Structure 1
């Protein structure tokens, strides 16, 4: 007897709905897709908060407060990106399959603030600084000419390269680990890496699509056999607690606020780049003005709420954009289920610590190729813009200063403080230098690309089949 696919009123099967923004595939198919997003970002979401808590000399109880709030706000901010709120002519949220989490981009600035005034100083700077990102979201219509495909594509490349550095450290066992680069860590990482590749190459159906999830699970079991999984924190934590607002009273330091404003501008560029990264990879188009503005506003709103609940600022996670790029799974219901796991973790510390116990080597093995997807999306965007003489000049200046020069402490030692703020971070430098270079060498009017129409903001009018998605 011929097996009949489970379909909905639109005539699409559960598997086909994975490649549509809307629709509800059955739980057994949708949940693994959402769960692999959670597994991919969980440790990265926790790590910045653990770093800042250590620098601020927070107590174990204060650290747990930060972690729980971070999980809860990550889930809620993800819901906001998936299902935007419209206020007048503004839309808070992109309507795209974003997963929100604590960004490593904030760690250097937050570390300095934590050393100066503890967690309250971090939260105060983050709260006020989020207003800067909100303004970029509100006025993106007038600022968008600054964020050309060359600027966003360059930013995507640098974000991807930075993520590859993170992936390398995870692969070797985690930055600063005593056994960094040990044969045990490398064996775990390479085993996980090979499992993911094998499943992507030889797997069928859901096994192939959820290769990252299965790779993480099998890699976790391998790490368990090597004795690399630490479960001590699970037993020491309570079963359930409720995050509450203002567990720490924010303090406001002008120097800290200025530093956070600068990093928020950088993070907003990351969000703009990630927005285009998703639409290019999944829908083969650039993001619309409404999607980009909404994504940045949701970022800013999530950061402000996170600060009020004692968590580090939230932003769109680049590695999850990479997962969308690799799997082409864009269904919002799948991501919603994953966001629900994050919210539940915000109330159940033990569950959160189970996810957090995934060793860095497992994450590195599963995700290092995913991180490369961000860079490839940036290259794709530059290719779409073309390599005219003018574009090559702009890119040459951008990469020379943004990648070749920025981020090297000794090279920028003699710079004024305000310039150091920019050139200490390669993403910020690449973005700002790219904007300036584009203004100095304006694009000929006849070559300017038209803005994507708002009518293509979703893929409803152009269904994508499983077969088509697998050919990407």
Structure 2
């Protein structure tokens, strides 16, 4: 299929039009293509909110609020990516087919914040961190040398390791659950896990694209049969309401904010990678500075608005970038119809209540392989950097201090308070130590030791979603 640049003109049929950014193919062609993106990200979009709400011991009503806000903001942030707003020299949005959703990368850090200060502490960290991502968007060309694939790869491995712990607890029924590790929970989780894997391996078309969503439905049915689903909140939920800002009042803890800032660095790099991945696959060119900067700025705005409305931070969804790369369908109108569905779902609390009733074991079974994939993506990025002597030294320092030492308050109790601050969160520590080690031991320009060859698919891994 010939790739058509954004400004190309001419008489095109509806089916040809889906391969260019502009134009409006007829609804019967555009809507299914838009829904394909919704199906691919729907389950992954909701899961981080359900996990954090459960850890924070939020009420069922508060869970529904978070889910509504998450769907609404995902749709609005996607609109901003598709149809940018220009203010002076700054462009907020990429004008590319980027679909936005909540990010798994924040789950480990948000879990610590939720356990310490509930949803308000999570939102406070996310709110302040969004400004940092905005600065990265504005100055990304100058800051990019700090965030090399080596640094981001180490951070991804730290995120994946932390997420696997979360996935294990959900697989067993949820941390602290009375029936933790029961045969019922393990039956539900293993059945869901195997069903999702089967769809991803042998499924075709929409069944493969929506494997997570279909797997959640399958696991939900099994949980219903075993009496593990509480539907009391569904009956009491309204059919339609308008999500309102400041349902939760954010609180601001410096330690939590610092941890969020470190994760925002990683998420900004993911958005940059997905933006270039789309332009390379669809237009045979790297993303322009304006597209990349606009993409990150739209990401930052989405995170800010999400925090105001009570939801988890937003990012460019890797699954959807993969769909664009695979199908070459880049038409903004197609993606707009999918984003409209997300916005409409944001006004339907009854739907949110159904998703909030999903048992932990179902979520664990569906998502644990996604968490493992995030770790694998980190390994791919390290392979892209190469395993020369200098890189191995940087990795050794980063993993030794960022994963081996950080994250245990008792182990670092004797350190100065400012160092304890850094070592409070293993993911934040991994990011900071990785950046410092990368700067202290710069790669020699005159002679670079051989780098390991990696396949094209490893060059732009999807960070937060792991697919």
TM-score, normalising length: structure 1: 0.76
Instruction: Name 1:48's counterpart in structure 2.
Output: 52
Instruction: Name 1:316's counterpart in structure 2.
Output: 315
Aligned equivalents of 1:286 and 1:383: distance in 2? 21
Q: Is the alpha carbon distance of 1:62 and 1:175 closer, same or farther for their aligned partners in structure 2, counting shifts above 3 Å?
A: closer
Q: Is the alpha carbon distance of 1:43 and 1:178 closer, same or farther for their aligned partners in structure 2, counting shifts above 3 Å?
A: farther
- Contact 1:123 1:312 (8 Å CA) reproduced: yes
Deviation at 1:378, TM superposition (A): 1.8
Q: Is the alpha carbon distance of 1:275 and 1:111 closer, same or farther for their aligned partners in structure 2, counting shifts above 3 Å?
A: same
Aligned equivalents of 2:151 and 2:40: distance in 1? 30
Aligned equivalents of 1:262 and 1:218: distance in 2? 39
Residue range with higher mean Cα deviation, 324-333 or 376-385: 324-333
Q: Is the alpha carbon distance of 1:21 and 1:389 closer, same or farther for their aligned partners in structure 2, counting shifts above 3 Å?
A: farther
Q: Spell out, residue by residue over 1:146-189, the C-alpha distance to the aligned partner (whole angstroms, 9 max, x if none).
A: 11111112122222222222222222222222222211111112
Deviation at 1:393, TM superposition (A): 1.1
Instruction: Name 1:224's counterpart in structure 2.
Output: 224
Q: Spell out, residue by residue over 1:82-134, the C-alpha distance to the aligned partner (whole angstroms, 9 max, x if none).
A: 554343433334546443227433343355455xxx94x76566544533332
Q: Is the alpha carbon distance of 1:271 and 1:32 closer, same or farther for their aligned partners in structure 2, counting shifts above 3 Å?
A: same
- Contact 2:68 2:243 (8 Å CA) reproduced: yes
Instruction: Name 2:395's counterpart in structure 1.
Output: 395
- Contact 1:185 1:361 (8 Å CA) reproduced: yes
RMSD (Å) for aligned C-alpha atoms: 3.8
Structure 1 runs not aligned, ≥5 long: 1-7, 450-471
Aligned equivalents of 2:270 and 2:336: distance in 1? 19
Residue range with higher mean Cα deviation, 87-96 or 166-175: 87-96
Instruction: Name 2:371's counterpart in structure 1.
Output: 371
Structure 2 runs not aligned, ≥5 long: 1-11, 450-466
Aligned equivalents of 1:433 and 1:372: distance in 2? 23
TM-score, normalising length: structure 2: 0.77
- Contact 1:277 1:377 (8 Å CA) reproduced: no
1:268 aligns with 2:264: yes
Q: Is the alpha carbon distance of 1:238 and 1:214 closer, same or farther for their aligned partners in structure 2, counting shifts above 3 Å?
A: closer
Q: Is the alpha carbon distance of 1:327 and 1:161 closer, same or farther for their aligned partners in structure 2, counting shifts above 3 Å?
A: farther
Instruction: Name 1:142's counterpart in structure 2.
Output: 142
Aligned equivalents of 1:328 and 1:166: distance in 2? 30
Q: Spell out, residue by residue over 1:225-245, the C-alpha distance to the aligned partner (whole angstroms, 9 max, x if none).
A: 112222111111122221233
- Number of residue equivalences: 424
Aligned equivalents of 1:67 and 1:199: distance in 2? 26
Instruction: Name 1:99's counterpart in structure 2.
Output: 100
Aligned equivalents of 1:269 and 1:342: distance in 2? 27
Residue range with higher mean Cα deviation, 99-108 or 373-382: 99-108
Q: Is the alpha carbon distance of 1:175 and 1:76 closer, same or farther for their aligned partners in structure 2, counting shifts above 3 Å?
A: farther
Deviation at 1:338, TM superposition (A): 5.3
Secondary structure, in 3 states, of the residue corresponding to 1:34?
Answer: helix
Deviation at 1:250, TM superposition (A): 6.0
Instruction: Name 1:409's counterpart in structure 2.
Output: 409
- Contact 1:129 1:260 (8 Å CA) reproduced: no
Secondary structure, in 3 states, of the residue corresponding to 1:135?
Answer: helix
